[in-house]
Chains A and B, each alone.
Chain A
Amino acid sequence: MSPGHAPSRDGATNPQPIDFGEFVRRRGGRGALVVQPRMGFSDPARMRAGLLATRAAHATTVGTITLDSYTRVGELRAAGRALAEGVPLNGYPIVNHPPEVTRTLLDGVRDDDFPIQVRHGSAVPAHIFASLVALRLNATEGGPVSYCLPYGRTPLAESVGNWRRGTELFVTLREQGVEPHLETFGGCMMGQLCPPSQLVAISALEALFFHQHGVRSLSVSYAQQTSFDQDVEAVLALRRLCAELLPTPNWHVVVYAYMGMYPVTGMGAYRLLERAAELAVMTGAERLIVKTEAEARRIPTIAENVAALEWAGAVRSDVRLAAGIDSETYAEAAALVHAVLNLDADVGRALLAAFRHGILDVPYCLHPDNMGRTRSYLDTDGWLRWAATGSMPLPGAPGRRRPRVLTSAGLLNDLSFVRRSYDGVPAAPTKASA
């Protein structure tokens, strides 16, 4: 399991990469952070430059190779055509580039002090997993629910099957002495307006799914939402649930800087990123995915990414919050997780049954396999709360669940709340046009 015999510079000849999870747990946590950008370029030279700049940043960093959207949906011919015509893609087409090209790109970049994660977003990931195994790229992320429901029309049952087969292929890396690492994307569902208890539940369930199919090095995600106090509750609930449920000690928490409408001012953007970093260090989360000041306008440059990494990576805290506390978020998340696990011993089948019966039901998610009977709202204190719980078995405190007539103007205000708060812009009037 230990890749400790690898030379420090693993390149084309002897790629024996370190376990991503082991690295992050050693360097992050206990008030320190490993920081990571989102970054993907179709040109191998530019991709390599981005990784080298990430590695050289004054922070504890890990590298990211984000794949392009043609590769994500399996349109490899379209990706090939773009490469042939020199049209830049929105990420690195890892399946189309010959393996030697990617090995050369990684040579002298990836080493024991700089593991790399591949990020994609695919509900049909078989070809991606095959490339990762061939290249010994041993860290990636996703999930059967989180890479399916928010983004397309792939039936959930197909996504679960695809992810089961992909995961089982990925863990064959262990036969080569390489530890595969998988991160759940479930804590980021829809980017915004999903009450944290369901994010926590799906993140934990996807980790259990990965473990059931052989992954022993895991991370669980959570995306910063609208209230710092509620986010603290959520990350602590996630830690507690994982400690209770995951049958491996090799797991960590990754916090994502806000994924919804980002502040447009530089000051607002940096303040929001800083709050995400504070959330991570105070709750003992080991890793943070950053956003940049350019986020609201365009894809950030390498330099903007490095600046964001250094800003977030410098945040420290002496405050250590214990994960054991009881909270409404923990109670709801635990109720959802246990209700799902009781449906079937196979986590994949349990997830399918849960969505079929509305035990899990993501608000505002339009996928045909999501029941769509739940609604959330942004309360006056900035907390995300349930306006309608559909068939979800949530315990206690219905007093805080107010049926609310949601208006189009109200939705826009909720979606833009964080941007307006951090940019210092007042809300628009919410009077409906009726």
Chain B
Amino acid sequence: MINGNHFYGVDRQPTAIVSTVASDSHTWNLVFLQLLLEEHGYSVANLGACVPDDLLLKECRELRPDVVVISSVNGHGHQDGRRVIRQLRDCPELAETPIVIGGKLGIAGGEGVTYDDDLRDAGFTEVFEDGAPSRVTFDQFLRSLPDRAGVAV
């Protein structure tokens, strides 16, 4: 049940990477997402606070996760997220990987300015912005993912 901070996935279980962006030091959001994904049957590699772009890139290429969930709440997520998704999508092995971003992505709290279209255009599969409507819920998104054989949702 308690994997520790150095746990990486076991075979036959779908894997997820939980991460934030380079400038963001918040982690309770990441702890919550790890638990949520574990409840959905995933083995989770949680990269923790202030993840530099190249570290996220390296972990994604090595682990080849079934889904990547990026969460940010410091208001810089739309800038950092746009930058890192281009680098992720530039890797052929990550071109089709479901990669989503969510949280407080700008400083306006979802009122007025939203980053949904912008970030999906940049390469994110879905965007879950606090205070703004999204196309699907996070649960619906997880249920829609392929290759989930044997995982009760």
**Which residues of A are at the interface with B, using a C-beta cutoff of 8 A?**
150-153, 364-368, 370-375, 388, 390, 403, 405-408, 411-412, 415, 432-434
Is B5 a contact partner of A372 (Cβ separation < 8 A)? yes
Identify 25 residue pairs between A and B in the complex whose beta-carbon atoms are under 8 Å apart, listed by A's number: A150-B49, A151-B25, A152-B25, A153-B50, A153-B51, A153-B52, A364-B27, A364-B31, A365-B5, A365-B27, A366-B31, A366-B47, A368-B6, A370-B5, A372-B4, A372-B5, A406-B35, A407-B35, A408-B33, A408-B36, A408-B39, A411-B35, A434-B39, A434-B40, A434-B153
Within 8 A of A (CB), among B103-153: 139, 152-153
Q: How far is the CA of A411 from the CA of B32 in the complex (A)?
A: 7
A47-B115 Cα distance, complex, nearest whole Å: 34
Expressed in whole angstroms, the minimum distance between the Cβ of A298 and any Cβ of chain B is 10
Count chain A CB atoms within 10 A of each CB in B25, B46, B152 and give the residue with the most: B25
> Is A375 touching B2 in the complex (CB atoms < 8 A)?
yes
Q: Which residue of B lies closest to A72 (CB)?
A: B25
Complex Cα distance, B6 from A426, in Å, reads 36
Interface residues of B (CB under 8 A from A): 1-6, 25, 27-28, 30-33, 35-36, 39-40, 46-52, 139, 152-153
Contact for A367 among B31, B35, B48, CB less than 8 A? B48
What is the bound-complex CA distance between A268 and B20, given in angstroms?
32
CA–CA, A412 and B33, complex, Å:
11
Closest beta carbon of chain B to A87's beta carbon, Å: 12
Cβ distance B88 to chain A, nearest Cβ, rounded Å = 19
Complex contact B28–A364 (CB within 8 A): yes
Is B4 a contact of A433 with CB atoms below 8 Å? no
Query: Across the interface, which residues of B come within 8 angstroms of A370, CB to CB?
Result: 5
Closest 3 CB pairs of A and B: A372-B5, A366-B48, A408-B35
Chain A nearest Cβ from B30, distance in angstroms: 6
CA A407 to CA B25, docked complex, whole Å: 23
Is the Cβ of A151 less than 8 Å from the Cβ of B35?
no
Please report the C-alpha to C-alpha distance between residue A415 and residue B28 in the assembled complex, in whole angstroms: 9
Q: How far is the CA of A365 from the CA of B4 in the complex (A)?
A: 10
A80 to B127, CA, bound (A): 33
Q: How far is the CB of B62 from chain A (nearest CB, A)?
A: 15
Given contacts A372-B6, A412-B32, contact A403 B25 (CB under 8 A): no
Bound-complex Cα distance A374 to B50 (A):
22
**Count: A-B pairs, CB below 8 Å:** 72
Main secondary structure of the interface of A (DSSP, over half): loop
Which residue from chain A places its CB closest to the CB of B7 in the assembled complex?
A372
CB distance from A66 to the nearest CB of B (A): 15
- Complex Cα distance A314/B3, Å? 47
**Distance (whole angstroms) from the CB of B145 to the closest CB of chain A:** 15
Question: CA–CA, A415 to B29, complex, Å?
Answer: 11
Distance of A372 Cα from B5 Cα, bound (Å) = 5
Chain B residues near A152 (CB-CB < 8 A): 25, 49-50
Instruction: Please name all residues of chain A whose beta carbon is closer than 8 Å to the beta carbon of B5 when the two chains form the complex.
Output: 365-368, 370-372
Residues of B contacting A151 in the complex (Cβ-Cβ under 8 angstroms): 25, 49-50
The answer to whether B30 and A366 touch across the interface, beta carbons within 8 angstroms, is yes
Give B81 Cβ to nearest chain A Cβ, in Å: 18
Known: A364-B31, A367-B49, A408-B39. A433 touches B139 (CB 8 A): yes
CA distance A374 to B5 in the complex (A): 10
Given A364-B27, A368-B5, A370-B5: A153 and B49 within 8 A (CB)?
yes
In chain A, what residue has the closest Cβ to B48? A366
Write out the residue numbers on chain B whose beta carbons fall within 8 Å of the beta carbon of A373: 2, 4
Let me know if A366 and B49 touch, CB within 8 A. Answer: yes
What is the CB-to-nearest-CB distance from B2 to chain A, in angstroms, rounded to a whole number? 5
A153, A375, A403, A434: the one contacting B152 at CB < 8 Å is A434
Residue among B32, B47, B51, B139 with most chain A CB within 10 A = B32
The interface residues of chain B lying within 8 Å CB-to-CB of A364 are 27-28, 31
Report the nearest B residue to A358, measured CB to CB: B4
Chain A residues closer than 8 Å to B27, beta-carbon distance: 150, 364-366
A411:B1 contact, CB within 8 angstroms: no
State in angstroms the CA–CA spacing of A153 and B21 once bound together: 12
In the complex, A388 Cα to B153 Cα: how many Å? 26
A207 CA / B27 CA spacing, docked (Å): 26
User: A373–B153 Cα gap in the complex (Å)?
Assistant: 26
- In the complex, which residue of chain A has the Cβ closest to the Cβ of B51? A153
B17 nearest CB across to chain A (Å): 13
Report the minimum CB–CB distance from B124 to chain A (whole Å).
22
Cα separation A375 to B4 with both chains bound (whole Å): 10
Q: How far is the CB of B103 from chain A (nearest CB, A)?
A: 15
Shortest beta-carbon distance from B147 to chain A in Å = 19
